[in-house]
Amino acid sequence: MPQSSFPAFRVLFSNDAILRRTHELVRCIEHDLRVAGAKEPPCLVAVIEGARPFARQVQKLLAGNLPVYEVRASSYGTGTVSSGKVALSGGAEIPARGRHVLLLEDIVDTGRTIKALQEHFLGQGALSCRAATMLSKPSRRVVQVPLDYVGFEIPDEFVIGFGMDLDGRYRELPDVVVYEQDVERAFQQAVAH
């Protein structure tokens, strides 16, 4: 979909910049695998929905056309108050035991999702469970988790695009942009006229 189909949100990272940075991350991942003398390729796990575009890029750039497994994680609690607990679903088929798992995320915010997934896969017998994320918001961190590969660190702004949504919208936007309600309203009014 062309960019003009969307409100003119402020671009934080263009699609080109994301792809270039993902390329650099993949080179780091491959370097680390060589140094570690890994005999087997990593077991790639995308945390859906948001991480799909990033995971597709990693898969494309990483040697071996490895499968990307998917797992869903959601915070739950009562009403609008998050309990801080993370529920995992799907991914029963992921062959984590005895493998080096590489989690692929679009964004790490509080860190709870990555922590829950690392505990889950290490508990299943993974040799290691590293994390690669396109974006990280360090100022929002509640639990400290080691992030092995970070595309960009960002301030605490509401970002959408390249997989990230607002109520299910804007995931297909090619760039990472900052959501602003005024910009969205102006666009909707212009389209309505």
Residue among 105, 151, 173, 177 that touches ligand PRP (CB under 6 A) = 105
In this chain, which of 106, 147, 173, 174 binds ligand PRP, going by CB under 6 A? Answer: 106
* Residue of closest CB approach to ligand PRP: 50
Q: How far is the CB of 74 from ligand PRP (least distance, A)?
A: 6
Nearest to 174 by CA among 80, 57, 31: 57
DSSP calls for 72-91: EEEEEEETTEEEEEEEEES-
Output the smallest distance, CB 98 to ligand PRP, in A: 25
Distance, CA of 13 to CA of 119 (rounded, Å): 31
Which of 32, 106, 109, 182 is catalytic? The answer is 109
Task: Select the residue interacting with ligand PRP from 7, 42, 50, 174 (CB under 6 A).
Answer: 50
Alpha carbon of residue 146 to chain centroid: 15
Chain positions 61 to 80 lying near ligand PRP, rule: CB under 6 A, are 73-74
- Nearest residue (CB) to ligand PRP, 30 versus 165: 165
State the nearest-atom distance from the C-beta of 7 to ligand PRP, in Å: 19
Candidates 23-31, 110-118, 120-128, 175-183; binding stretch for ligand PRP (CB under 6 A): 110-118
Strand ranges for the chain from DSSP E: 10-13, 43-48, 68-78, 81-89, 100-108, 128-136, 149-153, 159-160, 176-178
Q: Residue written as tokens 């297909």?
A: 172
Structure tokens at 127: 């040799």
> Burial level of 182, CB count in 10 A (0-12/13-18/19+)?
exposed
Site for ligand PRP in 120-179 (CB under 6 A): 165
| 167 a catalytic residue | no
Q: Which residues bind ligand PRP (CB under 6 A)?
A: 47, 49-51, 73-74, 105-113, 165
Active site residues: 109
